[in-house]
């Protein structure tokens, strides 16, 4: 995918939950990891580690582990995000930045993506942690599911996705409460 207008490109990112079985080529994965590498972080600490998961058995088990993780069962690729667990709020913020950067880079290669969060049910995180061998002192919360979209539409073209609030509902002018 080219992006003649980068703002339209950035705006067009949407969650994609159904994937074709085709694997994502290693050179594309390498590009996503380079983008991960260059993502900004608080005080440039680059606190993240990632686990690249292509094993079907592991991906299916991860899908079964959580309430909001089912789309991993159809994904040919997962990228698990591991944080040090030292400064939870700052790390969650950096994790969000990293997530968005990887998802946008994937979009740039026609690869759809969707976040899988292991926050529910109780015990989901522990199951994911065991499947991936993540030590108890590290934070694991998110696995990105990635793959070529089943309907071949990776962005919002013709597929606006869930509704959004109007701009006026969340924007204040100079001071909170002033519209």
Q: Binding string to its own copies for residues 68 to 107, with x set by CB under 8 A, is what?
A: --------------x-----xxx-xxxxxxxxxx--xx-x
Residues 6-35 that bind its own copies (CB under 8 A): 6-7, 9-11, 13-15, 30-31, 33-35
In angstroms, rounded to a whole number, what is the distance separating the alpha carbons of residues 9 and 109?
Answer: 12
Per DSSP, the three-state class of 168 is helix
Q: Is 158 an interacting residue with respect to its own copies (CB under 8 A)?
A: no
Residue 20 or 90: the one with the smaller Cβ distance to its own copies is 90
Q: Is 162 an interacting residue with respect to its own copies (CB under 8 A)?
A: yes
In angstroms, rounded to a whole number, what is the distance separating the alpha carbons of residues 51 and 118?
Answer: 15
Residues 117-146 that bind its own copies (CB under 8 A): 117, 119, 132-135, 138, 141-142
What kind and span of H or E run contains 139? strand 139-147
Q: How many residues bind its own copies (CB under 8 A)?
A: 79
Residues 6+ positions from 13 with CB-CB distance below 8 Å: 100, 103, 104, 107, 155, 156
Which of 58, 60, 70, 126 contacts its own copies by CB under 8 A?
Answer: 58
Q: Is 54 an interacting residue with respect to its own copies (CB under 8 A)?
A: yes
In angstroms, rounded to a whole number, what is the distance separating the alpha carbons of residues 73 and 10?
Answer: 27
């Amino acid at each position: 995918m080219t992006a003649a207008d980068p703002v339209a490109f950035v705006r067009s990112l949407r969650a994609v939950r159904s994937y074709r079985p085709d694997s994502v080529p290693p050179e594309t994965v390498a590009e996503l990891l380079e983008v991960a590498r260059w993502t900004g972080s608080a005080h440039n600490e680059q606190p993240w580690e990632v686990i690249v998961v292509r094993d079907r058995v592991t991906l299916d088990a991860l899908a079964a582990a959580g309430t909001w993780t089912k789309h991993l069962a159809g994904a040919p690729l997962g990228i698990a995000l591991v944080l040090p667990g030292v400064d939870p709020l700052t790390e969650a913020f950096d994790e969000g930045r990293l997530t968005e950067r990887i998802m946008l880079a994937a979009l740039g290669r026609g690869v759809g993506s969707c976040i899988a969060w292991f926050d529910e049910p109780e015990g989901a995180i522990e199951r994911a942690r065991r499947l991936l061998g993540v030590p108890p002192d590290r934070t694991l919360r998110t696995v990105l599911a990635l793959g070529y979209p089943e309907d071949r539409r990776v962005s919002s073209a013709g597929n606006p996705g869930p509704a959004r609030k109007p701009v006026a509902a969340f924007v204040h002018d100079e001071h909170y409460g002033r519209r």
